[in-house]
Amino acid sequence: MSFSHLGLSDKVLAAVAATGYTTPTPIQEQAIPHVLARRDVLGIAQTGTGKTAAFVLPMLTILEKGRARARMPRTLILEPTRELAAQVKENFDRYGAGQKLNVALLIGGVSFGDQDTKLTRGVDVLIATPGRLLDHTERGGLLLTGVELLVIDEADRMLDMGFIPDIERICKLVPFTRQTLFFTATMPPEIRRITETFLHNPEKVEVSRPATTVATITQLQVASGREAHDKRDVLRRLLREAKDLNNAIIFCNRKREVAVVHKSLQKHGFSVGALHGDMDQSARTAALDQFRKGEIPLLVASDVAARGLDIPAVSHVFNFDVPHHADDYVHRIGRTGRAGRAGTAISIVTSLDHKSIGAIEKLIGQSIPFAEGSSKAPESEQAAPRERKERSRDSGREGSRGGRKRRHERDAGSNGGRNPAPTIQSPVVAAATTPVIPSSPPRPPSIGRPSPTKNPSSASEPADHSHLPAFLLRPVRARV
């Protein structure tokens, strides 16, 4: 089937033909007719299958009729990251070149004044991240009561980034009668709940099982030591030995790790850029543009680059850190093997990552083989955490009160670790063990204790006072 059979307008068909596309992808073929019929759509498809064009092309056809009003956008598209929002705007600029549509982008890192100016002129298409959109509505510079079509893109990423409460607020600000398009690659229970709440009798378009990976991607894992420098050594070796490597994205779990790996690769002579959420918008845009244009072949990134970024010619993806969530693995490796191309995804795995790899393999329904020449982490390395744990447990016991007592018993021998008897005995004990001839009249006996003379056996058999505290062994004078 060609695009001409989907019901798109002549202007949109001309723009599609100018880009060189002739055949729609499965998600486009199934979703576009339902969007044009003004039905709610729940689209589930693998990343890199053309979901963006599946809603951009019919929206352009719908927007040919009507006119925008100041501060009241006609359509609203929500994206989880600034990069995705900018990418969707590029799609509108490309396919809507022959139409006079006002498209505005509301993202962080850009001044409110410039964005307010665009909203005042009237906007046909508003593309925004949830946080910046709510900032404008709370300042009174934006009304969502005129929204006819709402698109929630990469919904599972919205969930990961904590945007679901914001999405719920936004859905209550737009008219109840709007049309809603919901696109995602995975379907966690929380996302299913949102779809049941805000979509009305939607048409479900599912061109593949959720959380599946593209068959054209070769997936491998390579064993490494647990230390960060071990993993960096493995990464550099993989980059040097990789076959047909044109460019690659290297994913790390933490922003700090992105900076460390980026600096390490630069130090070893690699041409590399960095991309993470703490960078300012101009630096993020510049790094992404350099990577797209081929000026830098390597990009070290956090998961901010894992969702929806359309860079068709990425040949390799390296997971420097195995992702904590199995869904993130699907999105990361989806940056390669796009539009039917072949790709390679390699994960650097330590003995601490076996649980995460197991969850990934369960999610995607297949095992990830080890690369040739690489094997699983040695048993000694796998056993090391257990040994350290046992040693830590033993040292913890030694540090406890009972442990100190046992340690003292071992050190002190048979006396149970008790302090030795003092060399200068108290008068009470001395009187019981050694006869003393006083030079003056004897003192009266101690109060509360029997006189030594009343115990005839005490002279030959000393009393055991080791169980008594020292203060009870001090002599007490009787008041006369």
SS (HEC) of the chain: CCHHHCCCCHHHHHHHHHHCCCCCCHHHHHHHHHHHCCCCEEEECCCCCCHHHHHHHHHHHHCCCCCCECCECCEEEECCCHHHHHHHHHHHHHHCCCCCCCEEEECCCCCHHHHHHHHHHCCCEEEECHHHHHHHHHCCCCCCCCCCEEEECCHHHHHHCCCHHHHHHHHHHCCCCCEEEEEECCCCHHHHHHHHHHCCCCEEEECCCCCCCCCCEEEEEEECCCCHHHHHHHHHHHHHHCCCCCCEEEECCCHHHHHHHHHHHHHCCCCEEEECCCCCHHHHHHHHHHHHHCCCCEEEECHHHCCCCCCCCCCEEEECCCCCCHHHHHHHHCCCCHHHCCEEEEEEECHHHHHHHHHHHHHHCCCCCECCCCCCCCHHHHHHHHHHHHHHHHHHHHHCHHHHHHHHHHHHHHHCCCCCCCCCCCHHHHHHHCCCCCCCCCCCCCCCCCCHHHCHHHCCCCCCCCCCCHHHHCCCCCCC
| Residue 94 and residue 155 in one domain | yes
- 105 by Cβ neighbours in 10 Å (0-12 / 13-18 / 19+) ranks as buried
Confidence of residue 467 (pLDDT cuts 50, 70, 90): low
In a domain, 250, yes or no: yes
Q: Is 212 exposed, middle or buried (0-12, 13-18, 19+ CB in 10 A)?
A: middle
Same domain, 198 and 306: no
pLDDT in tens, 387-435: 444 444 444 544 444 444 444 444 444 444 444 444 444 443 444 444 4
In this predicted structure, what is the pLDDT of residue 419? 46
Report yes or no on whether pTM surpasses 0.75: no
Same domain for 287 and 247: yes
Better-predicted residue by pLDDT, 471 or 173: 173
In this predicted model, what pLDDT tens digit does every residue of 281-319 receive, in sequence order?
788 888 988 998 899 999 999 987 776 566 768 999 999
CA contacts within 13 A on the Cβ side of 306: 29
The candidate with the shortest Cα–Cα distance to 74, out of 91, 90, 86, 92, is: 92
Domain boundary among 206, 233, 264: 206
Among 349, 380, 411, the domain boundary falls at 380
Specify if 447 maps to a domain. no
CA distance 238 to 26: 35
From CA 91, how far away is CA 212, in angstroms rounded?
Answer: 25
Joined together, the tokens standing for residue 418 give 């008790």
What CATH number is associated with residue 358?
3.40.50.300
The pLDDT value given to residue 411:
45
Residues 200 and 284 in one domain: no
Residues 256 and 143 in one domain: no
pLDDT for residue 181:
95
Q: Do 195 and 272 share a domain, yes or no?
A: no
363 and 335 inside one domain: yes
Least confident piece of the model among 142-156, 212-226, 360-374, 422-436: 422-436
Same domain for 370 and 302?
yes
The per-residue pLDDT of the chain, averaged, comes to 81
477 falls within a domain: no
Which of 380, 406, 426 is the last residue in one of the domains?
A: 380
Give the per-residue pLDDT at 376: 61
Instruction: Tell me, yes or no, whether 183 and 35 share the same domain.
Output: yes
How many domains, the chain? 2
- 446 in any annotated domain: no
Identify whether 46 is part of a domain.
Answer: yes
248 shares its domain with 355: yes
CB 68 within 8 A of CB 124: yes
Domain assignment of residue 400, yes or no: no
| 82 domain-assigned | yes
Torsion of CA 14, 20, 25, 29, to 10 degrees: 20
Pull the structure tokens for residue 363. Answer: 């999610």
**Do 222 and 123 fall into the same domain?**
no
| pLDDT tens readout for residues 148-198 | 999 999 888 787 778 889 999 999 999 999 999 999 877 888 888 888 888
Average pLDDT over residues 313-342: 87
- Which residues form the domain of 315? 217-380
Residue 440 lies in a domain: no
* Same-domain check for residues 150 and 243: no
User: Cβ(74)–Cβ(66) under 8 Å?
Assistant: yes
Q: What angle do CA 321, 323, 324 make, to 5 degrees?
A: 120
Contact 253, 323 (CB under 8 A): yes
pLDDT, position 48: 66
Question: What are the φ and ψ backbone dihedral angles of 184, each rounded to 5 degrees?
Answer: -160, 160
